[in-house]
């Protein structure tokens, strides 16, 4: 399935596999590398593209959402 996204003021598409059950959207390491992404676990931030910082939230299980 192709999902339209808007991340750090840029439009894009994520191609995702559909699985049975209640799994969240998982973004592969390959996709994160193509976004030139860097995770800052200390400050809960994702840095993408040219250094744009995206604040991250987490769910009750501690996973980023």
Range of the domain at 34: 26-65
Residue keyed to tokens 């030139």: 36
Is 19 within the bounds of a domain? Answer: no
53 in Cβ contact with 9 (< 8 Å): no
* pLDDT tens-digit readout, 3-31: 898 888 888 888 888 889 888 788 889 88
Report how many domains make up the chain: 1
Alpha carbons within 13 A on the beta-carbon side of 20: 0
Give the global pTM: 0.68
Closest CA to 55 of 42, 39, 41, 44: 44
Is 16 within the bounds of a domain? Answer: no
Rounded distance between C-alpha atoms, residue 30 and residue 35, angstroms: 9
Residues 6+ apart with CB under 8 A from 26: none
């Amino acid at each position: 399935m192709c999902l339209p996204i808007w991340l750090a003021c840029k439009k894009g598409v994520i191609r995702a596999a559909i699985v049975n059950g209640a799994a969240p959207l998982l973004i592969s390491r390959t996709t994160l590398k193509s976004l030139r992404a860097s995770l800052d676990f200390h400050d809960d931030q994702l840095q993408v593209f040219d250094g744009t910082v995206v604040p991250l939230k987490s769910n009750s299980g501690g996973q980023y959402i």
